[in-house]
Structure 1
Amino acid sequence: MHTTDYALPVIDLNDLHTSTDHGAFYQGLGRITRDSGFFYLKGHGLDAKIIQDIQQQSLKFFQLPLHEKNKIAMLHSAHFRGYTRVASERTAQRPDYREQIDIGAELPALTVDAQQAAYYRLQGPNQWPDLVGFKEAVEAFQQQAHPLSIALLRHFLIALQQDPHALDTLIDPERPSHLLKLIHYPAAQDASQSQGVGAHKDSGIITLLLQDQVGGLQVKTAQGWKDIPYLEDACIVIIGEALELASNGYLHGNIHRVQAPQNGQDRYSTAFFLTPNIFAGDIPILPLPAELAALAQGPDYDPDNPLYQQIGLNTLKGRLRSHLDVTEKHYPQEYLKLTQQTPRLVAETDS
């Protein structure tokens, strides 16, 4: 583990193979995870060719004309899958100056009746663009990123002095739960377009982020916002709200944002989210040892973004708030409740 000369601590999984002192590795991982919530990961094992393929396919997709991208607009999907045009997704009630495509595990839609919770509708198929090689590149990346993120989860649990399988209830091999976002941040034309994505925590378990060299990612620290630049051969690992809840606040999902590029260059990133299985009920609270439990003061509470222990409800909450047009079309009852509780959402959408 290295903490000098970089914007974030660096963890190298190769250290587990080259050193017999695994205790030191896990002590360092536990300290960094607790203190930072963000770190660079080297030795991740993601194939360079697979990364190159998905980045090239992402670029090809975003270069399509808008009418072609809109053929798979998220508005067509009750599962929140597909393309979102620039300024259509919202963070902290403000539009994000980015476009993206959301792709999850390829699963059939469920038949949902009025007695079942609305979050059952989140499971379903993806929308795929008509691009040669796109689906294959995405699935190849998912097949490597998914087991890597699960391995990281188990490393985190060992660092917390837990059984490495303590949170396996959140992971269903028959119904894998993950989300891939391919993201394009167009170069901003003026200061009003500065929010690439607003300040937020990731709602899942673990995020793996690949970014280019343009810059714009920032993490909130006690000293203010800190730039997180590109590091060659590394991905960025981000702790999500699900781990914050499971650890009763011992671990914290760090607040981060992306500033839209102002230098005339477009920015591209690839984000893979390991998310909890929405059918698993409540997120379990880990029985931390006394010295760690004494530091676990409960998860952070934001009245504008409440956290729910119930997995399906917490997952649906984030999707509903971020994509109001999809919510209005496919979840009209939830849209009415949401806009009555937070009427400024509608006012800002219409402005």
Structure 2
Amino acid sequence: MTDRLPVLDLRDAAGTAERRAEFLDRLRRAIHEVGFFQLVGHGVEDAEDMLELARKFFNLPEPDRLALNILDSPLFRGYSELGREHTKGIPDQRQQLDIGPEQLEHTPVPGDPAYRCLIGPNKWPAAMPELRPAIESWINRLTGLSHQLLRLMLESLGAPAGFLDDVVDPDPQIHLKLLHYPGPVRTSEDTGTGQGTGLHNDLGLLTLLVQDDNGGLQVAVDENRFIDVPPIPGAFVVNLGELLEVATRGYVRATLHRVVRPAPGVNRYSIPFFFNPRLDATMQPLPSPYVEDADGVIDVADNPLFALYGDNVMKGIIRSFPDIVARHHPTLAATTGPSRS
């Protein structure tokens, strides 16, 4: 695995045949060798405006934020205080706002698979009415960009570009987070782990992230060696999720990554957008010469990979939000395996 994080320009994909071929080759090597790259030339120009909206949201008075308390949401949506979400059992030192697909509320029925509990509407801050239209516009544009990028990835692997269209159309299970990583103000607030977000893989297909200029995102290149992802103004950091690893039999890896908590007095903001299959979609191996020769998905004892996206995402949610599971879904507490319905 290389130490260098490639920077790809999406405009090259629409260039001459030679430029497009070079772009596809660099894209294939990036998703195989590193699992991370930075994307420029994508035409989404308002990342700084979105980061400023995130700053404004986290600067709202605490009662306005707690009106969206994720503890009150059986959908796992809303505002989280420091330490609410866990990675590998350790509280992450970040505040966040979780947004999913805007859907009608689902009334559970007997026999529903566990993942059906994720269907419903979002919570929006009454004190900041401009946030909803801005985020919904951002989600619409990033959904289109993600789908375009996914098709290019498949093309780079010699697979039909539209092979995964039916697992994301017409309603991909998108997920967006506004994130705030406050550095400890006092020594007593430092947990000693340095953990902003713990070491993890993403669960779906691909992630687009914008980050401010404070850095902190790190990618595992070896078992005990990490590299920093340098902030590039206007770039999306792109990484791959577990379901793409499943579909490519391990040729594409969902690379482990983490966020280091900022220094005292420093505030880091970022916005990840997760592009995922439909909850009820099952991944199939890509018809690709690279996939045919791949070694297969590596089984990790404490992190089974499920081809059905709903099962894979519930695995992560049950581990990440134990307080919400205990309050709203106590029967799920011991459920990390595939659905039986």
Normalising by the residue count of structure 2, what TM-score does the alignment of the two structures yield? 0.92
Q: 2:297 aligns with which of 299, 309, 312?
A: 299
In the other structure, the counterpart of 2:162 is 165
Give the aligned partner of residue 344 of structure 1: none
Equivalent of residue 36 in structure 2, options 21, 24, 38: 38
Q: Distance in 1 between matches of 2:168 and 2:334?
A: 32
**Structure-2 separation of matches of 1:141 and 1:185:** 21
Tell me the SS of whatever aligns to 2:270.
strand
Structure 2 residue 237 is the aligned partner of structure 1 residue 236 = yes
Cα distance in 1 between the residues matched to 2:14 and 2:169: 28
* Corresponding residue for residue 262 of structure 2: 261
Partner Cα distance (1:263, 1:237) in 2: 28
Q: Which residue of 1 aligns with 2:177?
A: 181
Residue type at the aligned position of 2:249 = N
The 8 Å contact of residues 197 and 258 in structure 1, kept in 2 or not, is answered as yes
Q: Select 1:78's aligned residue among 64, 74, 81.
A: 74
Q: Give the Cα separation in 2 of the matches to 1:305 and 1:73.
A: 28
Q: Report Cα offsets for 1:88-112 as digits up to 9, x if no partner.
A: 1000111100010010111112222
Identify the residue that residue 146 of structure 1 maps to in structure 2: 143
Give the one of 35, 60, 67 matched to 1:64: 60
Q: Deviations over 1:34-75 (max 9, x none)?
A: 001000101111123xx2332222111101222221111111
- Tell me the distance in 2 between the aligned counterparts of 1:193 and 1:70: 26
Percent of pairs with identical residues: 38
Q: Which moved more, 1:189-198 or 1:151-160?
A: 189-198
Query: Could you list the per-position Cα deviations for residues 267-286 of structure 1 after superposition, in whole angstroms to 9, with x for gaps in the alignment?
Result: 00010000110022x21111
The match for 2:288 is 288
Contact 1:7 1:227 in 2 (8 A): no
CA change 1:23–1:166 in 2 (3 A) is same
> Which residue of the other structure, out of 316, 319, 322, is the alignment partner of 2:320?
322
The CA deviation at 1:336 is 4.4
User: Aligned partner of 2:333: which letter?
Assistant: Y
Aligned to 2:339: none
Residues 285 and 291 in structure 2, CA contact (< 8 A), matched pair in contact too: no
**Could you state the TM-score of these two structures normalised by the residue count of structure 1?**
0.89
Consecutive unaligned residues in structure 1, runs of 5 or more: 339-351
- For the 8 Å contact 1:122–1:316, the answer to whether it is kept is no
- 1:10–1:41 contact (8 Å) kept in structure 2: yes
Alignment partner of 1:127 out of 113, 123, 128: 123
The one of 11, 16, 22 aligned to 1:14:
11
- Whole-angstrom distance in 1 between the partners of 2:24 and 2:8: 11
1:119–1:312 CA contact under 8 A, matched in 2: yes
CA separation of 1:18/1:336 partners in 2, compared to 1, >3 Å: closer, same or farther? closer
Query: 2:278 and 2:54 mapped to 1: Cα distance?
Result: 27
Q: CA RMSD in A?
A: 1.7
2: CA distance between counterparts of 1:116 and 1:317?
16
Would you say 1:95 and 2:94 are equivalent positions? no
Conserved in 2, the CA contact under 8 Å of 1:110 and 1:124? yes
Alpha-carbon shift at residue 141 of structure 1 (Å): 0.8
State the AA in 1 paired with 2:92: D
3-state secondary structure, aligned to 2:158:
coil
Match of 1:274 in 2: 275
